[in-house]
Amino acid sequence: MKKSIFILFTFFTLCSATAQDFKTLTYFVNDSTKLELDLFLPKTKSTNKLPLLIHVHGGGFSGGRREDGHHIAKHAATQGYAAASISYTLYMKGRKFSCDGILSQKTKAFQIAANQLWQATLFFITNADKYNIDTTKIFISGSSAGAETALHAAFWDRNVMALYPQKLPDTFKYAGIASGSGAIMDLNLITKQNLIPALFFHGSCDRTVPYGTAAHHYCPANASGWLMLFGSYSLYNHIIGLNGSTHLYTFCGGGHEYSDELFAKQPQEIVDFMNRVLHNQKEQAHTIIATGKPCKTAEYNFCD
């Protein structure tokens, strides 16, 4: 009996300790949707307003949980950031997201998720004093589908693509973006006017979301779900062409399994990137990382 009481006590102690790490907050509600986020704050109170990271989990717009973003959010909070991992509508759940899918549904998934990221951002702007947030220092990040969400949220015309009446201020601009194995539907969305510092990481042999420029899942051109995507390598080169600040981490030979690599295993790389942005340090860097995996391509001969 004593052993059972001890185990029970330990269980509740661990649960309490975990519960103190973050607050679960509702950031958006309408007649059909309720969306929540988990907010991590530094343990030490700051007299200064906090920079904020909003993270979007992956899962092909049909799976994943906001808990998947706890690793980067929790680490960022230990480094003086407020950090939130958000839930969003998994629009592709029960729908096909590959070559035999419906193109309009795939693009709708991007639009819904990006709009909900805007709503999460608006929540923090509206409640900036309550959570001690510096609204000029809001970063976004995401893995896979979350990265695609963040990229489109950063660079889409918010008036054209809006789904909800509540909108971000016209002058609002994210401080920077970190994208894990993500892609954008149109490079022309990124201009000198809306450019922000960007960190990318991606496996060079990703067959799900292209590292360079290719169809999603490398679908044939006659596929119903054919969708051209511009991945991290193409994004990096485009931003270099605009003389922007960017850093690409290439996992040579790696596939889509690297989509969460820095967020989960090397989160300080993300924090260091944000710190450089906040200190106005411009970078144009390409870090090449060997994985020991056999996939090689002639196009990316720096992986040889």
pLDDT score, position 297: 73
Q: Which helix (H) or strand (E) holds 179?
A: strand 176-180
pLDDT score, position 296: 67
pLDDT score, position 294: 83
pLDDT score, position 152: 98
List Cα–Cα distances, 164 to 116, 139, 161, 300, in angstroms.
9, 22, 9, 41
Q: Which helix (H) or strand (E) holds 237?
A: helix 232-241
Domains and CATH numbers, the chain: 23-303 (3.40.50.1820)
Contacts of 199 (CB under 8 A, 6+ apart): 176, 177, 178, 179, 246, 247, 248, 249, 269, 270, 273
List Cα–Cα distances, 54 to 35, 182, 255, 282, 285, in angstroms.
14, 16, 25, 22, 24
Model confidence pLDDT, tens digit, residues 93-102: 999 999 999 9
- Stretches where the chain sits below pLDDT 70 are 1-20, 296, 298
pLDDT score, position 298: 67
Query: CA nearest 282: which of 169, 156, 196?
Result: 196
Three-state secondary-structure class, residue 188: helix
Three-state secondary-structure class, residue 289: strand
pLDDT score, position 15: 42
Taking a C-beta distance cutoff of 8 angstroms, is the pair 201, 180 a contact?
Answer: yes
pLDDT score, position 19: 43
